Every structure is written in C-alpha cells, then in structure tokens.
Amino acid sequence: MKEVTAAIIFKDGQVLIAQRSVEDKLAGKWEFPGGKIEVGETPQECLKREINEELGVEVEVLEPFGESIYEYENGIIKLIAFWCRWTVGGFSNRVHSQIRWVYPVELDSYEFAPADVPLVEKLKDS
C-alpha cells in the first residue's frame, strides 16, 4: 500500500483544490494537493516538501484531517490529509492543470479523484 499525503489549506473561507495534469493517470480529476511519502520521510515532512515543489509556498502542517484508503487499478493507496496553514510565498501552479480556491459548498461541482471523495464529504460536513 502506497501512503500519500494531502493538504487541506483554507484562505478566506475557501479551500485550495488542484486539477491533475493531462500527463497523470487521473488526468482532469480534482484533488487536494500533496504527494507520495518517500522512504524515511514522515507524512508531515512529505506534505511540506510536496506543497513547496508543486505550489512554491511554505505551509505549516497542523493536526490530521482524515484518511482514505482506495484501490486503484495499479494498487492501493492510503491518503492521509492534514489541515495546513499557508505561511510564506505566492502560489504558483507548477504541476497541475489548474488550481482553484473554492467554498466547501462548491466542491460537488468538481469531479474528484476517488481517494479524495471521502475527504470532500468530510469537509462539506465540517
């Protein structure tokens, strides 16, 4: 099972979501930004690294938000999400097709990657 992280980042009541690029297996699907945990890395370290690599900003990783386990064709992933606070830098989209700030009530308008769907539902309920 691959462990992957996701950041739940809020600004002015909106949450950051990202659309997977055309080169990705789940091209066009939306997700909460993050990435694969590397050997010897904690989930929190992974999230700080991935957010900096993908979006060019620094975040403070706060408490856990939730987890999701999903079996894709190529294997099972465990998605571990954390609340994060944006601390430094301006957002620059480096790997996704697009990034957006949306209100939680708008999340149903986007087609999310299957592993992210339980996190979307939890976020809408919170």
Q: Which helix (H) or strand (E) holds 14?
A: strand 14-19
Domain ranges of the chain: 2-125
2-125, CATH topology level: Nucleoside Triphosphate Pyrophosphohydrolase (3.90.79)
What pTM did the predictor assign? Answer: 0.94
Instruction: Name the amino acid, one letter, at 37.
Output: I
- pLDDT digits over 74-104, tens only? 899 999 999 999 999 999 999 999 999 999 9
- pLDDT digits over 11-34, tens only? 999 999 999 998 888 899 999 999
